[in-house]
Structure 1
Amino acid sequence: MNQSFTQFGDGYASTGTLNIGDVLDIMIWEAPPAVLFGGGLSSMGSGSAQQTKLPEQLVTARGTVSVPFVGDISVVGKTPGQVQEIIKGRLKKMANQPQVMVRLVQNNAANVSVIRAGNSVRMPLTAAGERVLDAVAAVGGSTANVQDTNVQLTRGNVVRTVALEDLVANPRQNILLRRGDVVTMITNPYTFTSMGAVGRTQEIGFSARGLSLSEAIGRMGGLQDRRSDARGVFVFRYTPLVELPAERQDKWIAQGYGSEAEIPTVYRVNMADAHSLFSMQRFPVKNKDVLYVSNAPLAEVQKFLSFVFSPVTSGANSINNLTN
């Protein structure tokens, strides 16, 4: 898997400022003799400072909260500490030595959505600076093996996916989250199928970190000395049209295929060529690929492939040499 969260750039820690939809808890104390807050909302004895707890205040669509004797206060973009000082300043001329505490009890504006099968949460962002692995921990981690789990981060219209193994092993991938991010944990064991002149036809699993073609052939048990044709190793897959070279995209579009189409594609490897052995180490095997090893002369295999693809290609070449 070649995607990376570092492509987003790092995020930033929450500034702790308030926004529309946040819920505040406001407490007011007034020294005796209480002038404003000695009534029903107050607690403690008459010789002590009068404590008044206001009902929880929702920051309105206008960005304000309402405080008795003070009126509406604009709080958007301010910290709870700044709001405290504003309320205290306005009460000084009316109350006896007022003290104020403002606390954010529900952060509805700066949060990220964390989605996992069986458990999804909205995680508030704080000034501590939450990162991707904090979101993973917020839903209790992965329900499957770590090597079978991908973490997908959606930021605006951009989506990137990284294997959980890579995320844990590489701190650079564990970037700071931003308001509105969506973190999705995807459990999807990857497999490819080996066929042809191999030990046996089988479906072979591999981790979300990915697998190179050389590693895949190793897991198949290598080529059979007497049966396999080293010049005839093929990878069959459906490739999204947009991932093909531009000139090949044009050929398929001319045949009526849309941009969302997946094109049947074959890659040929000549393992008798040393250059191919190097290329195989960088060629990624993808989920649901089919690896076929020929036990027939290469010319016969090419005829077979031409027969298979002639109904769908109509001149658009889908057989690619790996070294190209």
Structure 2
Amino acid sequence: MKLAYSTPVLVLIGVLLSGCTVIPGAHFSDSYGTVVGKHPDRNLDLSKLINIYPISAASLLSQSAPAPVKASTDQALREQIANYDYLVGPGDILSVTVWDHPELTMPAGQYRSSQEVGNWVHTDGTMFYPYIGNLHVAGLKISEIRDLISHRLARYVESPQVDVTIAAFRSKWIYVTGEVKNPGTLSITNIPLTLVDAVSQVGGLTEFADWQAVILNRGEQSLRFSLRDLYKEGDVSQNILLQPNDVININRNDDSKVFVLGEVGKQQTLSMGRNGKTLAEALADAEGMSQITSDATGVFVFRRAPQESGRIADVYQLNAKNAAALVLADSFKLQERDIVFVTAAPVSRWNRVIDQLLPTLGGVYTSASLVE
């Protein structure tokens, strides 16, 4: 009879004593380095696949931060804009004026616009003009077309004074797609069009836009720009002069997220937003660390390691036992797809084991009483 009572109790006591190995709940040790799996040829040592970095004042100061960007005009862009000149193409409509010769100038009239009476550039790149016939104007600047018409007209008009303007720009376009308020096409005109100008002309970005993922497709090239760096940091290198047939796509912010898990008020996925997010902001958005169950010494940030490194992840640990360390958290900038993980305190994990075993203990003691 005594054996029937003692055996289950002893088994449960053994389970309790070994509880640390089966305790459920959020936990991560910075001393990982055990073999986690076997391969036919080798063992995988976690200590070689994960690097752990403490988040401290010294580590933050030692990080190679980029030099602050000066919010000044980019010289290269300024030169491109200064040297910019529109080249006429098929579909454009030109308006030609010859002073003191109204018969060579088509007046718009009260009900006719200059686009309706202008000189159309045909698909073969030519346009017709009285007396001088067809002129090949595609690929020429307005000043070159003016000189060409003046030279041809000089055979019929003495010292012609010619002025040429573009009545309608219809030959060159750029395309804006994705998370903008009014996606569509924008015409290239005689006014230089930059990336910022294009985004502004389509109404700006939507609330779902990823400010760091502006993709410009130009021929076989695919360039990535960050409006966050441009607007927040003043990085003018993120602006560029657009060219005909450029395609601008603003990605959604689906991938621009971080995950907050473990012993926090509310586990959730957080958007990085247009200004990014720090570790302190992520913890605050998740309603902070649990004052009852969390282990303040174990606040971890898991980040996928660079592919060429051969590691699984880089892990950054913040010891927030002293609340002043949260100042460091506000200086630690998160990256897309980071996982913030707050571990459970040892006593919390132990209490969870007890909570799970209490019903079993109650049943054992009841059975033992019946046996006696």
TM range (shorter): 0.5 to 0.7
Q: 2:315 aligns with which of 260, 267, 291?
A: 267
Paired residue for 2:121?
Answer: 57
What TM-score, normalized by structure 2, do the two folds share?
0.54
| Contact 1:236/1:291, CA 8 A, preserved across alignment | yes
Give the whole-Å Cα distance in 2 for the aligned partners of 1:221 and 1:9: 46
Q: 1:278 to 1:32 in 2, by over 3 A?
A: closer
SS state at 2:340 partner: strand
Q: 1:266 to 1:123 in 2, by over 3 A?
A: same
Paired residue for 1:179?
Answer: 243
What TM-score, normalized by structure 1, do the two folds share?
0.60
Paired residue for 1:73?
Answer: 135
CA deviations on 1:186-232 (whole Å, 9 max, x unpaired) are 44375433222222323444413211223322433443344222343
Greater strand fraction, Structure 1 or Structure 2: 1
* Mapping 1:161-172, distance limit 5 Å: 161-163=225-227, 166-172=229-235
Greater helix fraction, Structure 1 or Structure 2: 2
Paired residue for 1:49?
Answer: none
* Mapping 1:261-300, distance limit 5 Å: 265=313, 267-271=315-319, 278=328, 281-287=331-337, 289-295=338-344, 297=346
Any unmatched runs of 5+ in structure 1?
Answer: 45-52, 250-262, 301-324
The residue type equivalent to 1:112 in the other structure is: I
Q: 1:219 aligns with which of 278, 285, 295?
A: 285
Q: 1:171 to 1:112 in 2, by over 3 A?
A: farther
Q: 1:139 aligns with which of 194, 202, 210?
A: 202
CA displacement at 1:294 relative to structure 2: 1.4
* Higher relative contact order (CA closer than 8 Å, sequence separation 6+): 2
Q: 1:15 to 1:111 in 2, by over 3 A?
A: farther
Q: 1:194 aligns with which of 260, 263, 269?
A: 260
SS state at 2:205 partner: coil
The residue type equivalent to 2:174 in the other structure is: V
SS state at 2:250 partner: strand
CA displacement at 1:92 relative to structure 2: 2.0
The residue type equivalent to 1:139 in the other structure is: V
| Contact 1:31/1:97, CA 8 A, preserved across alignment | no
- Between Structure 1 and Structure 2, whose CA radius of gyration is higher? 2
Q: 1:103 aligns with which of 133, 143, 165?
A: 165
Give the whole-Å Cα distance in 2 for the aligned partners of 1:16 and 1:87: 19
The residue type equivalent to 2:77 in the other structure is: D
CA displacement at 1:295 relative to structure 2: 0.9
Alignment length, in residue pairs?
A: 261
| Contact 2:89/2:172, CA 8 A, preserved across alignment | no
CA deviations on 1:254-301 (whole Å, 9 max, x unpaired) are xxxxxxxxx7x46251426999985873342424x442211155xx9x
Give the whole-Å Cα distance in 1 for the aligned partners of 2:266 and 2:197: 43
Give the whole-Å Cα distance in 1 for the aligned partners of 2:101 and 2:188: 39
The residue type equivalent to 2:214 in the other structure is: Q
CA deviations on 1:73-105 (whole Å, 9 max, x unpaired) are 343553213312211221121246655443224
CA displacement at 1:57 relative to structure 2: 1.7
Paired residue for 1:259?
Answer: none
SS state at 2:226 partner: strand
- Percent identity over paired residues: 22
Paired residue for 1:119?
Answer: 182
SS state at 1:134 partner: helix
Any unmatched runs of 5+ in structure 2?
Answer: 1-65, 109-116, 350-372
Give the whole-Å Cα distance in 2 for the aligned partners of 1:145 and 1:116: 10
SS state at 1:284 partner: coil
| Contact 1:129/1:176, CA 8 A, preserved across alignment | no
